[in-house]
Amino acid sequence: MFAFALVVGSRLDLTSEVQVTAPVEGGKPGEETLKGEHEIGEEVARAHAMKQVTLALGAGFGTPARLLLLAVLLYLVGRYVGGRPTLRRTMSLASYAALPLALEALILVGAALRRPRLTPADLGLLSGEALTRLPVNPFLLWGVVLCALGFPMAASVSRTKAVLTVTVCFVLLLCLKAMSR
């Protein structure tokens, strides 16, 4: 994930995101003038730095936070269905379940390295919007299968109960995701 942030942050071109006009000071509302080349360059540099910081913080802090959240949720679900999970085992399971998503990020790094510059529209395509035609991201589905295979050991429940639990949780996640669109 950090490699993805590093590669994308270094190749991102935000010149199309910067406004070329600026309001006139003390002028009428709606009255605008063209910005100078120096002002546009400063705004592009500022926007580029902000995007790099956002990507790095998301990779450095967001990914571990999501893994910890998944581990806690797996722990709570395991307790709810009558298992005896430990946070150590659910954290291991969450880490293993995230491996396919890390592989997806490495594939996206390879795609980003093939382009000399990336625009924000390209960033959307690289970050998985190309997979939205499919009902479910295959890497996410792979992670769910790994989670279903490891849940019996992490929560000390039967395989049948584990598969049903993970399947119900995944369907609920898909429903929440569909409702948020």
Cα angle vertex 92, ends 66, 179, to 5°? Answer: 35
Closest CA to 78 of 16, 3, 155: 155
Structural domain boundaries enclosing 54:
2-179
Query: pLDDT 10s per residue in the chain (181 long)?
Result: 556 665 666 556 655 555 544 454 555 555 555 555 666 667 766 766 676 667 666 667 778 888 999 999 999 999 999 999 999 999 999 999 999 988 887 887 777 777 777 666 666 666 555 565 667 788 889 999 999 999 999 999 999 999 999 999 999 988 888 888 7
SS (H, E, C) the chain: CHHHHHHHHHHECCHHHCCCEEECCCCCCCCEEECCHHHHHHHHHHHHHHHHHHHHHHHHHHHHHHHHHHHHHHHHHHHHCCCCCCHHHHHHHHHHHCHHHHHHHHHHHHHHHCCCCECHHHHHHHCCHHHHHCCCCHHHHHHHHHHHHHHHHHHCCCHHHHHHHHHHHHHHHHHHHHHCC
**Among candidate residues 19, 15, 22, the one with its CA nearest the CA of residue 44:** 15
Measure the CA–CA gap between 22 and 30, rounded to whole angstroms: 10
pLDDT at position 24, please?
46
pLDDT of residue 17: 54
The whole-number pLDDT of residue 116 equals 73
The pTM assigned to this predicted structure is 0.70
The number of folded domains in the chain is: 1
